[in-house]
Chain A
Amino acid sequence: MEAIEIIKEDQVLDCSGTLCPMPIVNTSKAIKELQPGQILKMISTDAGSPPDIAAWSRQTGNELLRSTTEGGKFVFFLKKA
């Protein structure tokens, strides 16, 4: 079994229950509050979030460290550029 590295977030943003475009709008707001290098954990129930957060990450340069699911929710770890 491959060991999964634990990522320690600096801030958590729960976007559960909201749909496009609110998860990326609120992610964008939340990441502005962080310092470069800090990590935001974002939780979403929007099935559009995995491709959208990946696109948002490519467009903004904030690195998507991990995109996964936990208990039926989508979970993203984003590192502020």
Chain B
Amino acid sequence: MSKSNPNAPKRLALISSKGTLDWAYPPFILGSAAAAMGWEVGIFFTFYGLTLLKPELTASVSPLGNPAMPMKMPFGPEAFQNVNFAIPNLLMANVPGFETLATTLMKQTFHNKGVATVEELRSACLEMDVRLIGCQMTMDVFGFKKEDFIKEAEIGGAATFLEYAADADIQLFI
């Protein structure tokens, strides 16, 4: 089945369903990269992904259910930084402030390595006209209003995404 307009640029349709810091990166990285290649991009934010549309991004790292997650230390000599500190399950669930620590370490490591922040990547997406669309149903469930999101955010439902994705060359659920 061919696209309805064969001359249209390539199109990427993403669903962003997770709101933690590690999962906030992929949709904005792929979205900005595709837009930089001249593609049309639409990202649908649903369930926990919705929080990525808020003006202030508060995404943090949740090591829960992620036992393979290595902890990288953003300081000290290189040999120390290259150690993968496995996270004991007990720590993840029971130590207060652990998420804050894990988030700080990940943000600092990303910064040291030269990775852009999620905010910078989202701004790059917006500059290149990536469409950011919030899922109306999850907004109702979680009590979000359109005013809770950045002004560029659009609102839509399943049919909106499916129509957009039907004409897309790549569709990914993240």
Q: Chain A interface (Cβ within 8 Å of chain B)?
A: 17-22, 24-25, 27-29, 45-46, 52, 55-56, 59-60
Contacts and interface: CB of A to CB of B under 8 A. Distances in A.
A55 B38 CA distance: 12
Nearest to A21: B33
Contacts of B127: 29
Contacts, number: 48
Interface of B: 10, 29-30, 32-33, 35-39, 113-116, 121, 124, 127-128
A25 B39 CA distance: 12
Contacts of B128: 25, 28
A22 B32 CA distance: 9
Contacts of B116: 18-19, 21-22
Contact of A21 (B10, B32, B38, B113): B32
Given A25-B124, A59-B10, A20 B37 contact: no
A76 to B, nearest CB: 14
Contact of A25 (B36, B38, B113): B36
Contacts of B38: 28, 59-60
Given A20-B29, A21-B32, A59-B10, A28 B114 contact: no
Nearest to B127: A29
19 contacts: A17-B114, A19-B116, A20-B29, A20-B33, A21-B30, A21-B33, A21-B36, A21-B124, A22-B114, A22-B116, A25-B36, A27-B36, A28-B35, A28-B37, A28-B128, A55-B37, A59-B37, A59-B39, A60-B37
